[in-house]
Structures are given as C-alpha cells and as structure tokens.
Chains A and B, each alone.
Chain A
Amino acid sequence: DQQVKQNSPSLSVQEGRISILNCDYTNSMFDYFLWYKKYPAEGPTFLISISSIKDKNEDGRFTVFLNKSAKHLSLHIVPSQPGDSAVYFCAASANNFNKFYFGSGTKLNVKP
C-alpha cells in the first residue's frame, strides 16, 4: 500500500527555469513532510521539511508547498541548476513517529 506517491518518474528542465516536483499522499494523519535529494552511490540528502501547521516553507532556492485538503505537496526549485540533477524523494510521517513513508522518487535532469 503506497501511502506516498510520486507519479512522475522523471522531469527535464532547462537551466535557470523553475523545477516543480510533485508528491501525493493518502494518509490524512501525516503531519510532517520531508524532501530529499539523492545522487548515485550516495545516501539521500535532506533538503527541506514542512509541518502540517504550515502551507509553505522556503529555504534559498527551494520552496515546499503543502495543500492538506488535496493531500498534495510540491517542491519548487528556482532557478534550477545543472547540479540539481538527481533523484528527489518526498517522505511523510504521522503522530510524532520517526517512521517515514517514502515516494518512489522523481529523476530531475537540468539541462545546461
């Protein structure tokens, strides 16, 4: 039962433009969400998080938006850079537990 879904396996964006990565979830109890970036042969690197009491969190070029009614979150990267090319995972947890559910990932390719 996939409680966190990333329906786009890949995304290609031109350097300097905006990258928008999407994530949907089914469990209404999820209250903490994370985005990770993963390069080959490395572990996931934490990017940004958001609590369910907020609908937006911004950190430099990265902004995460949360739409609780739609059970949807998105990661915006502006401007996109070639070094952003990686696989991006969203993850969610519920009820103050450290058990995170991960999406299947979206491979972002930023073209120079």
Chain B
Amino acid sequence: KAGVTQTPRYLIKTRGQQVTLSCSPISGHRSVSWYQQTPGQGLQFLFEYFSETQRNKGNFPGRFSGRQFSNSRSEMNVSTLELGDSALYLCASSLDPTGTQPQHFGDGTRLSIL
C-alpha cells in the first residue's frame, strides 16, 4: 500500500515569492493535515482538510493556505515568503477526521528561503 506522497522533496525560493506544495494521501484516507517542523518550534499544526473543507486551523498567518480536491489530494500555498518560513513541511493523512485514528506522514518538503 503506497504511503503519503509529498512533492517536491526540496525547494529553494527567495523572499517575496510564493510556493505550492502537494500531498497525495494514502488510498482511502480522506483527512489530510499539514504541519510545519522547525528546529526551534518543533512540529506545529497548520490546518486539516476533510471532504474539501478546512476543519481545523493552527495559529499561522493568512499567508498560509491550503485546499483539498475531490480525490482527497491536497495542496498548501505560502505567499510572500519570509526567511522564517524555511522549514520542513509535513503532510499527514488519516482515515477520518475524528481524531481517533493515527495520522500517517509523508517524508515532507524541505523549503529553503534565501
């Protein structure tokens, strides 16, 4: 069974640009969550999507946004990139949005801002 797939694996951008990251969940998983991992802050929840709707949102500015498609694939977008956005962005999928099923993670997209 294929795992969670994130593309691209690595990305280099400059300040002010925008970026779109992609996530394909495990087949049959309908909930997709995004996390940011930095050395100083650890893993922090960005948002969760289920049935193409954002269900939960973390404490991040509006520059961070996402969406989910009818096939459960998800994208997240970061606009007006800042140096502090350099991080590993992780996508996780689970069977449902009830918070009673484990989330399974992809290997992440390493975003570097120059």
Interface residues of A (CB under 8 A from B): 32, 34, 36, 41-46, 49, 51, 89, 91, 93-105
Q: Which residues of A contact B107 (CB under 8 A)?
A: 41-43
Contact B90 A43 (CB under 8 A): yes
Q: How far is the CA of A105 from the CA of B56 in the complex (A)?
A: 24
Interface residues on chain B, number (Cβ under 8 Å): 28
Chain A residues with CB below 8 A from B100, complex form? 32, 51, 96
With A98-B56, A100-B45, A103-B42 known to touch, is A49 a contact of B102 (CB < 8 Å)? Answer: yes
Measured CA separation A37–B90 after assembly (Å): 14
From B31, B58, B108, contact of A43 by CB (8 A): B108
* A49 CA to B94 CA, complexed, in Å: 13
Q: Is the CB of B42 within 8 A of A99?
A: no
Which residue of B is nearest A46, CB measured?
B102
Q: Which residue on A lies nearest to B50, using beta carbons? A: A98
Residues of A within 8 A of B56 (CB): 97-99
- Is B66 in the interface zone, CB < 8 Å from A? no
26 pairs, CB–CB < 8 Å, chain A vs chain B: A32-B99, A34-B102, A34-B103, A36-B105, A42-B107, A43-B6, A43-B105, A43-B106, A43-B108, A46-B102, A46-B105, A91-B43, A95-B99, A97-B48, A97-B99, A98-B94, A98-B98, A98-B99, A99-B56, A99-B99, A100-B99, A101-B45, A102-B35, A102-B42, A102-B43, A102-B44
Q: Which of A44, A98, A101, A102 gathers the greatest number of chain B CB atoms within 10 Å?
A: A98
